[in-house]
Amino acid sequence: MIKEKKSLKNTTSSRRKFFKTAAKAGAVAAATVAMPNIATAGSHAKTLKMQAAWPSGANIFFEMAGDYCKMVEEMSGGSLKIDLQPVGAVVKTSEIGQAVSSGVVDMGHWVTAYWYGKNPAASLFGTGPSYGMSSQEVMGWMEYGGGRKLYDETLAKVGFDYIGFFHMPMPAQPFGWFKKNVTKVSDVKGMKYRTVGLATNVLTAMGMVVRQLPGGEIQPAMKTGLIEAAEFNNPTSDSQFGMQDVSKHYHLGSFHQSQEMFEIPVNKKTYNSLSPAHQAILKNAAYAANSDNYFKALVRYSNDLAKLMNEHKVNVYQTSDAILAEQLKGWDKVIGDFTKKDAFFKKIVDSQKAYAKKVMKYLLMNQPNYKLAYENEFGPIGKVKI
């Protein structure tokens, strides 16, 4: 009996040692499984180089590019990073598309109007005619109305070898900064004015003398008299450029560029070398940045408009209906001219029109008069102090 009892005790002890050892082994195995992920996210992370068309520092567009990069890193758990460089760090703005295509940089951050010189159709993917659409609806056409296929065809036509993503549906851009309040078409005829893309053709058709200048050259050009009026994009960017120091008359809401969004080109070979998960992250981070950037823009743009009015004594106007109507006539002429001589351009325009005719009928009929609700609470919009 004593021997049997001893044997039972030894057996119990052995079992305890076995389970204790197994538990330790399990913990080690679990740690072994987890550790490679940590190493991948750290020392073996994939880093892509992106050059933006915007200067670093106080520039909301560069900040928004950075937002996208941060989302990519966070969504990948640190296994995919983007090294964001400012304008001119590697190539000039006009060279970004080719630099991405050839692999000099992996990615870019700009707008399609910046390669308008290679093919006017580029402007249709951001700074084209409205047909009642805002940037939100143009992006809807891109993803669900056949726009992406046409965009890819346009890239092939100009020789760009990249995959493109879009984000940040920009609010309608201001007509811009003038030396006086302009309300009639005759007020702007012959005026030296800065814009880019198809808007150059539209405003030329209105009788303006248009010059295409990079953002950083606009304010100095107005100061020296090279141009008499200019637009860039929004109250935040415009104030960061110091436009309030050369003009006190700011006209909002124009059809010359009533919709635009950022384009993120990614070198095709680089993109195809990534894992499906990383490819999905690059795509879906653009969707995430799309919403976040827009929410941020509404707050920042309205805050900076208030500063322009209250601190810098800038006079702010809504662009007159007379000028807006003339802009639409200009668009009719420009689009008519291009579609007559370019079948592919016409193909894109026809696609946009078909989408706008159906979608905007629903949207415009469904939307209540939001201005009526605003003025019911705050009074006439032109007299509201912010």
Convert the pLDDT of each residue in 185-240 to its tens digit: 999 999 999 998 889 999 999 999 999 887 778 989 999 999 999 998 999 999 99
Residue 125 has phi, psi (to 5 degrees) of -95, 40
Give the Cα separation of 42 and 331 in Å (integer).
Answer: 52
pLDDT tens for 315-359 read 999 999 999 999 999 999 999 999 999 999 999 999 999 999 999
Side-by-side strand order, sheet with 249-252: 209-211, 192-194, 229-230, 176-178, 249-252, 315-318
* Contacts with 159 (C-beta within 8 Å, 6 or more apart), sequence order: 101, 118
Position 23 scores a pLDDT of 46
Yes or no: say if 265 and 97 are a contact pair by the CB < 8 Å rule: yes
Does the pLDDT value for residue 79 go beyond 60? yes
What the block records as the tokens of 268 is 């095709």
This prediction has a pTM of 0.85
Angle 330-140-64 from CA coordinates, rounded to 5°: 90
3-state secondary structure (DSSP) of residue 265: strand
Per-residue pLDDT tens digits for 276-293: 999 999 999 999 999 999
Quick: pLDDT tens for 123-179: 999 999 999 999 999 999 999 999 999 999 999 999 999 999 999 999 999 999 999
pLDDT band at 305 (very low <50, low <70, confident <90, very high): very high
Task: Decide if 139 contacts 290 (C-beta within 8 A).
Answer: yes
Measured CA to CA, the distance from residue 127 to residue 147 in angstroms comes to 14
Q: What are phi and psi of 159, to 5 degrees?
A: 85, 20
How is 171-207 classified by DSSP, letter by letter? PPPP-EEESS---SHHHHTT-EEE--TTHHHHHHHTT
pLDDT band at 43 (very low <50, low <70, confident <90, very high): low
> Tokens at residue 272, please?
């195809």
Q: For residue 169, which phi and psi values (nearest 5 degrees)?
A: -70, 100
Band (pLDDT 50/70/90 cuts) for residue 60 is very high
> For tokens 């009526």, what's the residue?
372
| Angstrom distance (rounded) from CA 364 to CA 134 | 11
Those residues with Cβ within 8 angstroms of residue 288's Cβ, 6 or more apart along the chain or in another chain: 71, 75
Complete domains list, the chain, with CATH: 45-170+260-298 (3.40.190.170), 173-257+311-340 (3.40.190.10)
Interatomic CA distance for residues 88 and 85, integer angstroms: 8
